[in-house]
Amino acid sequence: MTPVKLMLSIFLPLVLLQGCSSDTKKPCGDKPGERLDEAKCVGRDANSLRGADEDYYADMDYGVSKQPQLLVERLSPFIPGITEQQALQAFARGRNNWIVWTAGNDALWDKLSRDSVGNLDLLKTISNHPSLKYNRDKRWQVLGVVNEPCYVKGEGPRDDRYGLWLDKRDPSCAADPFENETKYPGVKIGARGKNLPVGSYYGYGTGIVGLRLFPNPEFDEHAQKKWDAKRYYEDPAYYNDSKLVKPYRVGMSCGFCHVGPNPTNPPANPEHPAWSNLNSNPGAQYFWVDRIFMWNQDPSSFPYQLFHTSKPGALDTSFVSTDYINNPRTMNAVYNLKARIELASNLGKEKLAGGGLNNRQFNEVPGVPPDSPLAQFYKKPDTVFTPRVLKDGADSVGALGALNRVFINIGLYSEEWTTHFRPLIGGKPITPFRIDVARKNSSYWNANEAQTPDLALFFLASATPDYLKNAPGGAAHLSEPAAVLERGKEVFADTCARCHSSKLPEKAWTFFPDHGCVNDGYLKCWNNYWTWSKTPEFKTAMRAIVKDEKFLTDNFLSTELRVPVTLTETNACSPLATNALGGNIWDNFSSESYKQLPAVGSVLVQNPYSGEPWEYAMPAGGRGYTRPASLVSVWSTAPLLLNNRLGQFHWKGGVEDRMASFDNAIGMLLWPENRTGDFQVMTRSGKTHMGTVDVTSETSYLRVSSGYLPTFLQNLEGLLSRLLPWLFGEDGIQLGPIPQGTPVSLLSNIDLEKRDQVLDLLLKIKHDLKQLPPGASDEEARKVFAGLVKPLLQVSKCPDFVVDKGHYFGTSFLKEEAPLSDADKRALIALLKTF
């Protein structure tokens, strides 16, 4: 995805961008492959950044850590002989890694506040200043982030935080143990330890779960003299300045995007949860990306329009290391990890090569005995058995490698990571982030790599299903007669289980020889399996499995097989992602097997204006497949589809709201004729239904304030605004107008790797926009854009614009199978509520 500054790379020569923002300091080491992170730079090693083992979050996750014997019971199959103390310490370290460890990524988020030309500023996201559109009182409703217990709203500027309006620790609570600078001494670098305290390497609490506050090493005495907190909140001429140095940087943990309300024990007031109301694993279903990552929401800004295509709970994880595809996806819930790992032993075999061989495996972890099942998931020299975590099944190098990649993606060792691409914008060749370089030059990487095994153990012990029957008022939604549920089991076995059960008939494994058939002819293996899944033989065997009383026990409710998007007919942008291809940014985190997957064929796409259909050939080499979502606790996870676009969104997070969303979403899934929108979607069956193409809600522009322009342009702004009035606005560059109703992805999905075509298009767009009179109307702008649609489609990296189509199984929209009756659909829904 190309948020924030994509349009600059379209409308302006790239040379113009070189000075738009820059780091305020030179890192240790100037060249890619030689840069040290801040810890390594000052001589700190990984042992000085050990994971905390305080069980501070004991009330979370159903209070499982208060039951040491239960932890032993759940972990001993993987770590034979583990003691209660060992289990508790490993569990606590893993949970702390997930919720409070930021691995030095505050450096990245400070950099992105400049690279985004001021759009993203987490220091404002955590604030309570009256000029902002949100504060602690409405954070959950407006932003969808979790207010951390034991904090209260800051009603004014804090003297101990340089005048920032931040939350305060509730005096009735004990101190935050992770702020202990003596036990967890922060990295003393730059201004830290001089005019600023060093702090803890866990930072200070912000009042938001998953965001931590760190003293900014660049806030030296000179910056301190220039700092004005009042102007920072109120004066655009002051805060829209790439040279502004703020007193703090904000770091982000994984928990920011994954901790959410406990579905079966939700808070009475979602703005004021207790720790017992929160779970670590559901995924942030209520997280508004456009509001969080754009502190000043302005619908007339094209970056806002782009971020707004991410509906609550969906985020494009490639928005920093852009792949030129607008591709928001749900934030993964983590359930039944034990079953998921066991499934990997049946269908998860992958071959590693090149940098992928550098991923750490469980058999290399101290404390994991050779006879542990965990040690069996890697066979020297190049074979791994692994879950596939990303929607496209790309991170296929082992569970630990998948976890480590997540931390890089939110800023671990960003000093090196961001040298391999141009953050947010793109436009320069992408090269792989190398694990061997990280091990050599990053203490944070090595510290994180030491902690992720405990993170895996934490999820093995805690990520249990959330059952509707245990939720307050849940029984009222589970009143269907036994006969209906029995029929639901038969329907599920016949129609859904082939993708959504990790328990399958024994014969199923034979269609994927060598534990997955990923090294030779996978598509043929899949097609043979799919054909067999329609036979009475499969259905009879599967019905017996589903009707077994232990069917849900240790069932991940997914096969994790890679399903061709030609079959699902869902939006193709996710399986078109390129970050994990050979030579791309995540090259070291995808298997050789993934990189050699065959092409799936062509998908049906449509012109976003006329609706005219055409066939788009999906490329090979890993693209074209989607991993089936797990249906564990599916009652609590609507809206549905891989991008949360099917069904109504209800923000409170209580049981009734979750069920209202589920009922609405499942109705649209199983009755596509009930889907809404203003675009007529064509399907392979020949039938049509209504759907959605994301378009700009009003006239929008791309704006770059003067303070983010290169110095030479700032000096010439007055002259240039007279010579180029179509380019310069009241304060800096303003490009547009982009008329209301423009398909957002028509602009965001431009493949900048097609350099010659894009250059020609750039010149055409610049020429056509220049002809527009000042204050041009939408109608005038639409006439310009009408002539651009065809060339824009020709350079689109994903020309699939309908976001809520596909998954027609069990309906009349799937041509190859008879549809379910309405009664059978209702029986299936009744069963799904019990998952």
Per-residue pLDDT of 106-127, as tens digits, reads 999 999 999 888 899 999 999 9
pLDDT at 594: 95
The angle that helices 68-75 and 443-462 make with each other, rounded to 10 degrees, is 100
- What pLDDT, on the 0 to 100 scale, is given for residue 153? 97
Q: Is-contact 504 537, C-beta < 8 A?
A: no
Q: Among 91, 81, 29, which Cα is nearest to 54's?
A: 91
Predicted pLDDT at 5: 36
- Asked if residues 278 and 99 have their Cβ atoms less than 8 Å apart, the reply is no
The pLDDT, as a whole number, for residue 522 is: 96
| Cα 57–chain centre separation | 24
Decide if 401 is inside a domain: yes
Q: Between vectors from CA 593 to CA 589 and to CA 598, what angle results, nearest 5°?
A: 120
Coil, helix or strand for 587?
helix
Look at residue 204 and tell me whether its pLDDT is greater than 50.
Answer: yes
**pLDDT (0 to 100) of residue 43:** 96
DSSP lists the bridge partners of residue 214 as 249
* Assigned domain for 208 exists: no
Name beta bridge partners: 326.
Answer: none
Residues 398 and 486 in one domain: no
Q: 492 lies in a domain?
A: yes
Q: Is residue 552 part of a domain?
A: yes
Which residues, in sequence order, are CB contacts of 128 under 8 Å at separation 6+? 135, 136, 153, 154, 155, 165, 166, 167
Distance CA 191, CA 180 (A): 19
Kindly state the average pLDDT of the residues 731-741.
78
From the number of C-beta atoms within 10 Å of its C-beta (0-12, 13-18, 19+), residue 316 rates as buried
Note the pLDDT of residue 763.
74
Q: What is residue 208's predicted lDDT score, i.e. its pLDDT? A: 98
pLDDT, tens digit, 9 for 90 and up, residues 263-301: 999 999 999 999 999 999 988 889 999 999 999 989 999
Per-residue tokens: 573: 């942008």
Which DSSP symbol is given to 376? G
Residues ≥6 apart with Cβ < 8 Å to 527? none
In this structure, the answer to whether residues 501 and 442 fall within a common structural domain is no
Lowest mean pLDDT among 11-25, 186-200, 773-787: 11-25
Beta-bridge partner residues of 651: none
φ/ψ of 470, rounded to 5, equals -95, -5
Share of the chain above pLDDT 90, in %: 82
Ranges of beta strands (E only) in 277-389 are 278-279, 314-315, 329-330, 349-351, 378-379, 383-385
Answer for the pair 258, 280: CB distance below 8 angstroms, yes or no.
yes
Q: What tokens does 103 get? A: 């691995």
pLDDT recorded at residue 729: 55
The predicted structure's pLDDT at residue 14: 35
Asked if the model's pLDDT at residue 484 lies above 90, the reply is yes
> Does residue 27 have a pLDDT over 80?
no
Q: Does 369 share its domain with 439?
A: yes
Please, what is the average pLDDT of the chain?
92
**For residue 432, what are the domain limits?**
337-458+575-589
Q: Over 70: is that where the pLDDT of 381 sits?
A: yes
In this structure, the answer to whether residues 448 and 532 fall within a common structural domain is: no
Q: Name the one residue in this structure whose structure tokens are 């506040």.
A: 113
pLDDT of 661? 97
Does the structure show a pLDDT above 50 at 733? yes
**550 and 443 share one domain:** no
772, 774, 780, 784: CA torsion to nearest 10:
30
Rounded to whole angstroms, the Cα distance separating 210 from 199 reads 17
Residue 101 confidence class, pLDDT cut points 50, 70, 90: very high
Mean pLDDT of 572-583: 95
Work out the pLDDT band at 24, boundaries 50, 70, 90: very low
Per residue in 299-324, pLDDT (tens digit) is 999 999 999 999 999 999 898 999 99
How many angstroms separate the Cα of 569 from the Cα of each of 328, 574, 628?
17, 12, 13
- CA 153 to CA 295: how far, in whole Å? 18
Residue 380, burial from CB neighbour count under 10 angstroms (0-12, 13-18, 19+)? exposed
Tell me, yes or no, whether 583 and 546 share the same domain. Answer: no
CA distance linking residue 553 with residue 705, whole number of Å: 56
From the number of C-beta atoms within 10 Å of its C-beta (0-12, 13-18, 19+), residue 515 rates as middle
Write out pLDDT tens, residues 803-822: 999 999 999 999 889 999 99
Confidence class for position 17, pLDDT limits 50, 70, 90: very low
pLDDT of 156 higher than 90: yes
Distance CA 377, CA 557 (A): 21
> Averaged over 647-666, what is the pLDDT?
96
Residue at 54 is within a domain: no
Q: Do 484 and 549 belong to one domain?
A: yes
Whether pLDDT at 508 is above 50: yes
Closest CA to 564 of 556, 573, 575: 575
Q: Which two tokens stand for residue 574?
A: 């996710």
Query: 705-727 as b/e, with b when 16 or more CB fall inside 10 Å?
Result: bbbbbbeebeeeeeeebeeeebb
The closest alpha carbon to 289, from 321, 326, 261, belongs to: 326
Burial pattern 15-40, b for ≥16 Cβ within 10 A else e, equals ebbeebbeebeebbbeebeebbbbbb
With a pLDDT cut of 70, the percent of the chain lying above it is 93
What is the predicted pLDDT for the residue at 761? 84
pLDDT at residue 652 tops 60: yes
Same domain, 360 and 509: no
Does 743 score more than 70 pLDDT? Answer: yes
Residues in the chain: 835
Nearest to 646 by CA among 616, 614, 681, 611: 681
pLDDT single digits (tens) 682-707: 999 999 999 999 999 999 988 766 55
Q: In terms of Cα–Cα distance, which of 697, 705, 677 is closest to 689?
A: 677
Q: Are strands 314-315 and 329-330 parallel, antiparallel or unpaired?
A: antiparallel
Total of domains in the chain: 2
Q: What is the pLDDT of residues 440-455, one digit of tens each?
A: 999 999 999 999 999 9
pLDDT tens string 386-398: 998 889 999 899 9
The residue among 367 and 9 whose pLDDT is bigger is: 367
User: Is-contact 170 154, C-beta < 8 A?
Assistant: no
In a domain, 703, yes or no: no
Tell whether 474 and 454 lie within a shared domain: no
Q: What is the CA radius of gyration of the chain?
A: 26
Q: How far, in Å, CA of 396 to CA of 380, rounded?
A: 16
On the question of pLDDT at 517 being above 60, the answer is: yes
Q: DSSP readout, 7-60?
A: HHHHHS-GGGGTTS---SS--BSSSTTTPBPHHHHTT--GGGGPPP---TTTTS
| DSSP code of residue 147 | B
For 55-104, give the DSSP string. Answer: -TTTTSGGGGGG-HHHHHHHHTTTSTT--HHHHHHHHHHHHHHHHT--TT
User: Which helix (H) or strand (E) segment is 564 a member of?
Assistant: strand 563-564
> Phi, psi (5° rounding) for residue 387?
-65, 160
- Is there a single domain that holds both residue 423 and residue 510? no
Q: Are residues 351 and 420 in the same domain?
A: yes
Do 508 and 418 fall into the same domain? no
Q: How many CA atoms does the CB half-sphere of 238 hold within 13 Å?
A: 11
The answer to the question of residue 551 being in a domain is: yes
Residue showing tokens 């250059």: 759
Q: How far, in Å, CA of 301 to CA of 304, rounded?
A: 5
pLDDT at 328 over 80: yes
In a domain, 356, yes or no: yes
pLDDT at 732: 59
Distance in angstroms (rounded) separating the CA atoms of residues 747 and 809: 32
| The residue to which tokens 């703090």 are assigned | 248
Contacts with 805 (C-beta within 8 Å, 6 or more apart), sequence order: 569, 570, 571, 681, 683, 689, 691
The predicted structure's pLDDT at residue 6: 43
**Among candidate residues 631, 99, 662, the one with its CA nearest the CA of residue 335:** 631
Per-residue pLDDT tens over the stretch 751-783 = 988 888 887 887 787 778 778 887 788 888 888
Peptide bond into 381 cis (omega under 30): yes
